[in-house]
Structure 1
Amino acid sequence: MDVTHLLDIATEAARATGPRLREAFRSRPGVTTKHDFHDPVTQHDRAAEETIRAVITARRPESAIVGEEGGTTGSGDLVWYVDPIDGTANFAAGMPFFCVSIAAAVRGELVAGVIYDPVREDEFSASGDGAWCNGTPLRSVGASGDREAMLLSSYPTAMDVEADGDAALRRYGRFLTSFSAVRRPGSAALKLAYVAAGWADAAYGTQANPWDVAAGALLVRRAGGVYLGDPLAKGDYLAHVRGFDLNGSALAEVAPH
């Protein structure tokens, strides 16, 4: 299967959402919730996914699409994982840290991925040939240990605190005292893109969905970094730049939980 063709489709589909998302950004759109009040959705999430689906279906009608908003449709060896707005809470509030994430897998193997930041116009892409940001090759390099490293992490989420109580907060405290900086920017896909670019040194999250991390996982790996976890199944993930000492990191203690 022509991976370059698949990457072109993902790029076209992601960029097709750009004008609408930029126009809607900081308009304080109406928000509804899905599972609970921590899980917002807007009309623009649904519209962006419809746009992406239309592009993919027109170009590769024989494929399946797994989308955050529309669920799974179609069938075949080629499967697309689509998050129309990763970081919806940020988008709805007017914070410029959200993106469109699209990945393609063939018979269970990730082969192409695009993460598109419509505000900054940053386009992260990956295939078997490597990883790029706006056409410039990415190298996932950075800090070698916690004391010099920036960690991007959503842990603990409300679900983590409900499940583990004070233990989850103590683990978060371990991050705070171990890493040079800890940030909770609110988009798993962009966090992974930043690790791939070497703009952050590690990323960790729990109970992520494939549409959240599939493209980012491929980016990290193709940029020479490390991604741990199954990006095509719901679960925890951990990523870091090449040369980072995971065994000596607080992540090695906390992440197994």
Structure 2
Amino acid sequence: MSDLPSFLRTTAEEAAVLAGEYLQKVFRGQMDIDYKRDRHDLVTEHDRAAEELIVPFLLERDPSWRIIGEEGGALGGDGPVTWYVDPIDGTSNFAQGLAFFCVSIGVAVDGELVAGAIFDPIARRLFSADHEHAYLDGEILRTPQAQPAAAATMITGYPTARDLEADRETALGHFGDLAEAFSSLRRTGSGALTLAHVAAGWVDCAFGGSVNPWDVAAGALIVQRAGGSYEPLLLEAGVVGEHLAPAFVAQGPGAQYPALDHFVEQFTRVRVSS
């Protein structure tokens, strides 16, 4: 069906807004907080509640759809359409009352990303993409030219606790090099919303070194359809889908950042050899 990507985009938008409106109501309220792997990996009662809004909404549209959620794992059928659902990307921010988090929903058909949506419930900005375009609040989105490094802003989640544990001195050295190379270097705590900001041209580039498919499935496509670049890193040979890579670099058009290129080369070499 030729209009399937458009239908999937609209469905992703509706599901993201549904969960986002719930999150807007409970933001900065009292909440129960648990931890997954360690103190850096939070989950709240609202992560689960938001995902429990999204999953039935999708399966009512088509029970054959397969859904991979951050909280609930794999559900649904075994058809060619797979959804990647992150009910709150930026849970630590959400739990602390910091308004930089989002709902991220991406969808692939036979392993290839075809649509997705990211909703920022506090700013009430809806980013999305299909096979033709990226959109911001329903209008076609085009990424402006990236600025020179001396005027550019980079967002990253690096170094993570894992990077510091592996080699603290090297990780902090890399971070320092990037801080010197760019006008601004930020750690914002939401990979999906970071990618949306790259697509909008609000930041010039981003690096993620420890991501999951539900973190980036929507954002990767939005960046690409808006005219930016999304480069998956450490993607295993034979694996279809850039959203399955554990790391990425995203940049606006025309970006030329030698310091970032050098860092990525070193980062990739270390991860491959470890």
Which amino acid in structure 2 is aligned with residue 193 of structure 1? A
Q: TM-score, normalised by structure 2?
A: 0.90
Which amino acid in structure 2 is aligned with residue 68 of structure 1? E
Which residue of structure 1 lines up, in the alignment, with residue 214 of structure 2? 211
- Please say if residues 149 and 180 of structure 1, whose CA atoms lie closer than 8 Å, have aligned partners that are also in contact: yes
For 2:141, which of 138, 143, 163 is the aligned residue? 138
For 1:237, which of 234, 239, 248 is the aligned residue? 248
- Please say if residues 101 and 115 of structure 1, whose CA atoms lie closer than 8 Å, have aligned partners that are also in contact: yes
CA distance in structure 1 between the aligned counterparts of 2:145 and 2:180, rounded to whole angstroms: 20
- Share of identical aligned residues, percent? 48
Which residue of structure 1 lines up, in the alignment, with residue 261 of structure 2? 252
Secondary structure at the aligned position of 1:185 is classed as: coil
Secondary structure at the aligned position of 1:120 is classed as: coil
CA distance in structure 2 between the aligned counterparts of 1:19 and 1:130, rounded to whole angstroms: 25
Which amino acid in structure 1 is aligned with residue 251 of structure 2? H
1:111 is the counterpart of 2:120:
no
Q: TM-score, normalised by structure 1?
A: 0.96
Which residue of structure 1 lines up, in the alignment, with residue 46 of structure 2? 44
Secondary structure at the aligned position of 1:89 is classed as: helix
| Residue-pair matches, total | 255
- Please say if residues 126 and 137 of structure 2, whose CA atoms lie closer than 8 Å, have aligned partners that are also in contact: yes
CA distance in structure 2 between the aligned counterparts of 1:208 and 1:17, rounded to whole angstroms: 22
- Please say if residues 220 and 243 of structure 2, whose CA atoms lie closer than 8 Å, have aligned partners that are also in contact: no
- Please say if residues 207 and 234 of structure 1, whose CA atoms lie closer than 8 Å, have aligned partners that are also in contact: no
CA distance in structure 2 between the aligned counterparts of 1:62 and 1:143, rounded to whole angstroms: 41
Query: How far has the Cα of 1:234 moved from its partner?
Result: 4.4
| Alignment RMSD | 1.2
The aligned runs of 1:57-72 (5 Å cut-off) are 57-72=59-74
For 1:10, which of 5, 9, 12 is the aligned residue? 12
* Structure 1 unmatched ranges of 5 or more: none
Which residue of structure 2 lines up, in the alignment, with residue 169 of structure 1? 172
Which amino acid in structure 2 is aligned with residue 10 of structure 1? A
Query: How far has the Cα of 1:69 moved from its partner?
Result: 0.3
Secondary structure at the aligned position of 1:103 is classed as: strand
Secondary structure at the aligned position of 1:104 is classed as: strand
1:152 is the counterpart of 2:163:
no
Secondary structure at the aligned position of 1:156 is classed as: coil
Query: How far has the Cα of 1:107 moved from its partner?
Result: 0.3
Secondary structure at the aligned position of 2:74 is classed as: strand
Structure richer in helix, relative to its length: 2
Secondary structure at the aligned position of 2:49 is classed as: helix
* Structure 2 unmatched ranges of 5 or more: 236-241, 268-274
- Please say if residues 196 and 225 of structure 1, whose CA atoms lie closer than 8 Å, have aligned partners that are also in contact: yes
Query: How far has the Cα of 1:173 moved from its partner?
Result: 0.3
